């Protein structure tokens, strides 16, 4: 497969009165043509900042401090604003979590959609309107011929999100970045939107980067998953492999927190990850998950290297390193001796 997007050592920070918050601390990954990759992690992990960094939508006091973002071999960080505008919205589209930050409240939905279609696909006004109506119908907007002339405030939150998805899909982008695209939707519409994205990928070979906290969405539509925590990638690999054989304790904790059918009428106690995420104003020099990890060791105060357990599956954990395994075994042995005493 051909690399469509290659991110190398991306770093993004935000200046505050207390100092610099290092939200993304050296993230590297690739995304292939026609691939759907899930970027997951809890709030504050850096996943949304990573997504916005890819198309340089980081506003002051934020800034990208280092790295490369190669889109078909061209570094987007070296592009002028004019050059980037030709790529953003046309070859790369983004669906935002909050549609009200993207829709103009005083302009009818139809006008906003047709302007995007006419600018990027060179259609006349009549053809663009027909295309907009069809897109609204595809994303589940009832009576699109009438709704197209309404204002954003006349739509519910879920409806506005569907309008944003239709606008993002209207230019048939090579890469679609979806930041929590189904958060505001009920499960029925969520399933329709995810199905629509899959159809788009299959019919146009559009690549999708799906930012989400919902591992169910990842299991349904993604081929590969990247797990972020503390501004770093903790684990990356094929969805089936990571769901069946998670290597990092953080990934294992996330998977244990997914509700599963249980006994006693389906009632069960949900597993949680104790503790809080690290302070990225003063990020730890070692593994960022150390303070919450049940397997934490002295060596975890140093940053581990990525270990590839099988081709395409890597994790950032000392438990996968010979030195870390030896220390973990010694620690476990010492604990057993204390229990026997």
DSSP string, 187-201: HHHHHHHHHHHHHHH
The DSSP secondary structure of 212-233, one letter per residue, reads ES-HHHHHHH-SEEEEEETTEE
What b/e readout covers 274-312, taking b as 16+ CB neighbours within 10 angstroms? eeebbebeebbebbbbbebbebbbebbeeebeebeeeee
Res 1 pLDDT > 80:
no
Residue 10: phi and psi, rounded to 5, are: -70, 130
Q: What is the mean pLDDT of the chain?
A: 89
What is the model's pLDDT at position 75?
Answer: 96
Res 281 pLDDT > 70:
yes
Res 270 pLDDT > 80:
no
CA distance 150 to 94: 23
Least confident of 123-127, 254-258, 313-317: 254-258
Residue 55: phi and psi, rounded to 5, are: -115, 25
What is the model's pLDDT at position 339?
Answer: 42
Least confident of 159-173, 186-200, 317-331: 186-200
% of the chain at pLDDT higher than 70:
93
Res 288 pLDDT > 80:
yes
Judging by DSSP bridges, how do beta strands 207-212 and 175-179 pair with one another?
parallel
Select the more confidently predicted residue: 216 or 51: 51
Tens of pLDDT, residues 78-112 = 999 999 988 988 899 998 877 667 789 999 999 99
Give mean pLDDT, residues 249-266. Answer: 77
Q: Where is mean pLDDT largest: 7-11, 152-156, 208-212?
A: 7-11
The length of the chain is 341
69 CB burial (10 A radius; 0-12, 13-18, 19+)? buried
CA distance 102 to 86: 18
Tens of pLDDT, residues 37-51 = 999 998 889 999 999
Res 184 pLDDT > 70:
no
Which strand (E) or helix (H) includes residue 209?
strand 207-212
Query: How is residue 128 annotated by DSSP?
Result: H
What is the model's pLDDT at position 199?
Answer: 78
- Residue 67: alpha-carbon gap to chain centroid: 18
336 CB burial (10 A radius; 0-12, 13-18, 19+)? exposed
Judging by DSSP bridges, how do beta strands 224-229 and 36-40 pair with one another?
parallel
Q: For tokens 């302009």, what's the residue? A: 107
What is the model's pLDDT at position 309?
Answer: 93
Give mean pLDDT, residues 318-324. Answer: 89
Tens of pLDDT, residues 99-158 = 667 789 999 999 999 998 998 888 999 999 999 999 999 888 999 999 999 999 999 877
Which strand (E) or helix (H) includes residue 237?
strand 232-238
Residue 194: phi and psi, rounded to 5, are: -65, -40
Res 2 pLDDT > 80:
no
Least confident of 6-15, 134-143, 254-263: 254-263
What is the model's pLDDT at position 328?
Answer: 84
What is the model's pLDDT at position 56?
Answer: 94
What is the model's pLDDT at position 336?
Answer: 52
pTM of the full structure: 0.89
Query: How is residue 107 annotated by DSSP?
Result: S
Q: Residue 39: beta bridge partners?
A: 211, 226
Tens of pLDDT, residues 187-207 = 777 787 788 778 777 777 789
CA distance 270 to 127: 52
Give domain limits for the chain: 99-172
Q: Residue 8: beta bridge partners?
A: 68
pLDDT band at 182 (very low <50, low <70, confident <90, very high): confident
């Amino acid at each position: 497969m051909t690399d469509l997007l290659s991110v190398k050592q991306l770093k993004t920070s935000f200046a505050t009165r207390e100092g610099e918050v290092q939200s993304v601390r050296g993230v590297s990954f690739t995304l292939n043509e026609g691939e759907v990759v899930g970027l997951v992690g809890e709030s504050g992990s850096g996943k949304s900042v990573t997504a916005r960094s890819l198309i340089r939508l980081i506003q002051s006091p934020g800034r990208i401090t280092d790295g490369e973002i190669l889109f078909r071999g061209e570094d987007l960080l070296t592009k002028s604003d004019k050059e980037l505008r030709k790529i953003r919205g046309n070859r790369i589209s983004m669906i935002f979590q909050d549609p009200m930050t993207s829709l103009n409240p005083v302009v009818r939905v139809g006008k906003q959609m047709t302007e995007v279609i006419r600018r990027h696909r060179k259609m006349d006004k009549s053809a663009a309107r027909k295309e907009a109506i069809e897109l609204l119908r595809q994303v589940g907007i009832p009576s699109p011929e009438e709704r197209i002339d309404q204002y954003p405030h006349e739509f519910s939150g879920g409806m506005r999100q569907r309008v944003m998805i239709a606008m993002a899909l209207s230019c048939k982008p090579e890469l679609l970045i979806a930041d929590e695209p189904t958060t505001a939707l009920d499960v029925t519409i969520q399933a329709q939107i995810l199905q629509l994205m899959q159809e788009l990928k299959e019919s146009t070979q559009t690549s999708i980067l799906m930012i989400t906290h919902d591992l169910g969405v990842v299991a349904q539509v993604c081929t590969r998953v990247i797990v972020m925590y503390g501004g770093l990638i903790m684990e990356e690999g094929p969805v089936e492999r990571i769901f069946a054989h998670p290597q990092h304790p953080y990934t294992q904790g996330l998977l244990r927190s997914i509700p599963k059918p249980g006994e006693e009428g389906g009632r069960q106690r949900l597993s949680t990850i104790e503790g809080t995420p690290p302070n990225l104003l003063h990020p730890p020099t070692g593994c960022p998950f150390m303070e919450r990890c049940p397997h934490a060791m002295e060596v975890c105060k140093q940053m581990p290297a990525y270990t590839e357990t099988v081709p395409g599956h890597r994790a950032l954990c000392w438990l996968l390193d010979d030195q870390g395994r030896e220390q973990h075994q010694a620690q476990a042995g010492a604990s057993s001796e204390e229990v026997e005493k």
